[in-house]
Structure 1
Amino acid sequence: MKKAIGIILNVDGDNSDLNELLQHRSISTLPFGGRYRMIDFTLSNMVNSGISHVGVVGSHKYSSLIDHLGTGKEWSLSRKTQDLSILAGSSSVRFGNLMKINLRDLYNNRAFLQHSSDEDVVISAPNLVTSFSFNASYKIHKTNNSDVTLIFKKVQPSFTFENNDVFLEFDKYRITNIHYQKEKMTDHCYADMMIIKKSVLLDLMELGERTGEWDLMDMIKTNLDTLRVYGAPHTGYINRVHDLAKYYEANMDLLEFDIMKELFLSENSIHTKIKDNHPTLYQNEAVVRNSIVGSGCEVEGKIYHSVLFRDSKIGYGSEISNSIIMQKAEIGNNVKLNYVIFDKDVKIRDNASLVGTKDNPIVLSKGMVI
């Protein structure tokens, strides 16, 4: 994919019940899986697909994004022929119950596209937990001389539909209609990834400037008769983390071996910022079952079916179950935690007990002390 440029753009904005965890960061840098940030998956997928120029559209909470991405060294994007750019952005907008792509964020950064010699643009959300190669989709895009190729997931009858899902209708491989859930549901759900000709994208930007219509998906839908819009399937695991339930689900999914293997043990590695740290210390009383434990932790208690980030301490006699504990947490002695999600630097004193449910976990924001 040497003739494609990548754009990572938040399509969900900050309108989310993840707000407790997004007070000091955007969803792009939300900690995930014991050592990663959400954006690591999309950025790694682009690099692994041979995309050597990537622009990340930041929000007003950009400091954590700059700190995490740096020069792009960990993703091999700090070379003369490969580069990472952090672009100015506002936030995506919400119309009714639907969150859509704000084309104005791309228009404000059109120089980034205009100065590139690449023919196509790969646009993806940053909050997709998946290991995915764009190469097969790009082949479909080129074979059909597509103006736009929308990547979709074929969903099963048991699929739980969300208010902001977008569904695609086909005539053979060509997309003939785009539906939002309130209109019509099909078994082809848009996966928040697309490939679009750069010339078409620039034309749509200029159209948006003239008409005031800034929703990229709406513009594609309106022009389906004149644009060649095709679909490309995503056949593996994918989880779009746009709310607290999906965040919890995606973390717990990592404890399933088949999903963990697909994400982290395939030929497409997921890269992240490297942090030098010492191994975790497990005391004699420690018990860990079906959990992810980051480096630099000290564990004296019991951990069951949970995700524990680096540099956390679990005191003697404490028991953690079905929980997500972010970095540098300090859990005292004889503490009982079940179905909780803790942001960074949370401290829990001795003998405390916090019990949520799978559908309603207890969430503590950064630095809270109980």
Structure 2
Amino acid sequence: MRAIGIILAGGNNSRMRELSDKRAIAAMPVAGSYRSIDFALSNMANSHIQKVAVLTQYNARSLNEHLSSSKWWDFGRKQGGMFVFTPTITKDNSLWYQGTADAIYQNIDFLKQSHEPYVVIASGDCIYRMDYNKVLEYHIAKRADITVVCTTCEDQTEVERFGVVRMNDDGRIVEFEEKPIVSSYNTISTGIYVVRRRQLIELLERAALEGRHDFVNDILIRYKNLKRIYGYRTDAYWSNISTVEAYYRTNMDFLRPDIRNYFFRQEPSIKTKIDDLPPAKYNPEAVVKNSLVSSGSIINGTVENSVLFKEVYVGNNCVIRNSVILNNVYIGDNTRIENCIVESRDTIRANSCYCGEDGIKIVVEKNERYAL
């Protein structure tokens, strides 16, 4: 493909509450065995983009460990490779990334040293499948300066989380409002952009000169009447997990056979880093209904309509319903968990009861099983 990729994976969102205290949102576990960033990386690889930069910043240790080898997503160094860029103190700059545009600008040498004519920019906190080649073909056909991938937000109350766009009959964006409190439109930006590489370098250098740091407000909205900015509409599954409710809902979506088939039983596949773990073990007392149970887990109790990540132990007489249990959790005997997200590495004491009655409850136990 005639493009390089940039994945923005450095942000944080207070709406994730305790879940983002120790990890970046792009590193959030999804669908049992995956991380959020796996979907953007797999889309890049499956679209034959061979050179990809991942920009990390907030709570990056877990994410950087996950990205320690490019082989899991088939990025070969001889053909391009995957590059992980974190903020770097230099003679001219000692600041963290001050925004999405500034994050790319601080790594502008990556753009200048590349030869591909186009750049695909994506976010690391979205769950979707996409062939970026189709977006690029649309971009070229429209002779666009920037193309924004858009989708329809079915829940009007969720519109305030996104950039809302309005397009004319030709697909050109005529209005772009970032995270409006109220909007009569429900076409939103997915945070996926295609732009000519030289055009992007020019826009970033001008924004930096003017002290502007945000890609949406200081480039897309600022130049919408001066540049040819088009919208590419997609109706396929797309979800942004940057709130607790959206994260929970997205994991629950993977309990639907049609969603699992769409992501995991069709080529090209979604790839991730593989851990050497034994298969899940179901002891004689186990009762499991409509759930995802990942490798390394041991089940003794009842699990219904739930997603269990890797190395989860469920004790005797436990009941887990409508919950998401993250990696490496020990659940003691006679415990009941409903409508909850249990943080990774937790030890839930025997005879405990956690129930999210007014929304999703996040369970974070402070008792550590591991010595420092």
Question: Could you state the TM-score of these two structures normalised by the residue count of structure 2?
Answer: 0.91
- Compute the displacement of 1:364 (Å): 1.5
- Compute the displacement of 1:358 (Å): 6.4
Partner Cα distance (2:249, 2:343) in 1: 16
- Compute the displacement of 1:171 (Å): 1.6
Match of 1:130 among 124, 128, 131: 128
Match of 1:57 among 55, 68, 87: 55
Q: Which amino acid aligns with 2:40?
A: T
The aligned residue for residue 86 of structure 1 is 84
2:255 is the alignment partner of 1:258: no
Partner Cα distance (2:312, 2:129) in 1: 28
Q: Which amino acid aligns with 2:166?
A: E
Question: Could you state the TM-score of these two structures normalised by the residue count of structure 1?
Answer: 0.92
Describe the SS at the equivalent of 2:176: strand
Q: Retained in 2: the 8 A contact 1:21–1:365?
A: no
- Compute the displacement of 1:61 (Å): 2.2
The aligned residue for residue 231 of structure 2 is 231
- Compute the displacement of 1:145 (Å): 1.5
Q: Residues 38 and 345 from structure 1, CA distance in 2 versus in 1: closer, same or farther, beyond 3 angstroms?
A: same
Q: For 1:98-113, what aligned pairs fall within 5 Å after superposition?
A: 102-113=100-111
Q: Which amino acid aligns with 1:4?
A: A
The alignment covers a number of residue pairs equal to 359
Describe the SS at the equivalent of 2:203: helix
Describe the SS at the equivalent of 1:160: helix
Identity among equivalent positions (%) equals 30
- Compute the displacement of 1:185 (Å): 3.6
The aligned residue for residue 73 of structure 1 is 71
Q: Residues 360 and 113 from structure 1, CA distance in 2 versus in 1: closer, same or farther, beyond 3 angstroms?
A: same
Partner Cα distance (1:128, 1:3) in 2: 23
Q: Residues 165 and 200 from structure 1, CA distance in 2 versus in 1: closer, same or farther, beyond 3 angstroms?
A: same
Q: Retained in 2: the 8 A contact 1:339–1:362?
A: no
Describe the SS at the equivalent of 1:239: strand
Partner Cα distance (1:279, 1:10) in 2: 31
Q: Residues 284 and 21 from structure 1, CA distance in 2 versus in 1: closer, same or farther, beyond 3 angstroms?
A: same
Describe the SS at the equivalent of 2:272: coil
The aligned residue for residue 163 of structure 1 is 160
Q: Retained in 1: the 8 A contact 2:172–2:231?
A: yes
Q: Which amino acid aligns with 2:330?
A: E
CA offset digits 1:232-274 (Å, max 9, x no partner)? 1112111101110111010001111111211222213110001
Q: Residues 91 and 41 from structure 1, CA distance in 2 versus in 1: closer, same or farther, beyond 3 angstroms?
A: farther
Q: Which amino acid aligns with 1:69?
A: L
- Compute the displacement of 1:25 (Å): 1.6
Structure 1: gaps of 5 or more residues? 94-100
Q: Residues 280 and 182 from structure 1, CA distance in 2 versus in 1: closer, same or farther, beyond 3 angstroms?
A: closer
Partner Cα distance (1:5, 1:367) in 2: 45
Describe the SS at the equivalent of 1:163: helix
Q: Retained in 1: the 8 A contact 2:18–2:362?
A: no
Q: Residues 116 and 185 from structure 1, CA distance in 2 versus in 1: closer, same or farther, beyond 3 angstroms?
A: farther
- Compute the displacement of 1:56 (Å): 0.2
- Compute the displacement of 1:365 (Å): 6.0
Q: Retained in 2: the 8 A contact 1:355–1:362?
A: no
Partner Cα distance (2:62, 2:81) in 1: 19
Q: Which amino acid aligns with 1:350?
A: A
The aligned residue for residue 267 of structure 1 is 267
Partner Cα distance (1:254, 1:69) in 2: 24
Describe the SS at the equivalent of 1:333: coil
Structure 2: gaps of 5 or more residues? 88-94
Q: Retained in 1: the 8 A contact 2:293–2:309?
A: yes
Partner Cα distance (2:209, 2:107) in 1: 17
- Compute the displacement of 1:281 (Å): 1.2
Q: For 1:81-230, what aligned pairs fall within 5 Å after superposition?
A: 81-89=79-87, 102-156=100-154, 158-172=155-169, 173-180=171-178, 181-182=180-181, 184-218=183-217, 219-230=219-230
The aligned residue for residue 247 of structure 1 is 247
The aligned residue for residue 343 of structure 1 is 343
Q: Retained in 2: the 8 A contact 1:72–1:83?
A: yes
Please tell me the root mean square deviation across aligned C-alpha atoms, in Å.
1.9
The aligned residue for residue 97 of structure 1 is none
Shifted more, 115-124 versus 254-263: the winner is 254-263
2:288 is the alignment partner of 1:291: no
Q: Retained in 2: the 8 A contact 1:343–1:367?
A: no
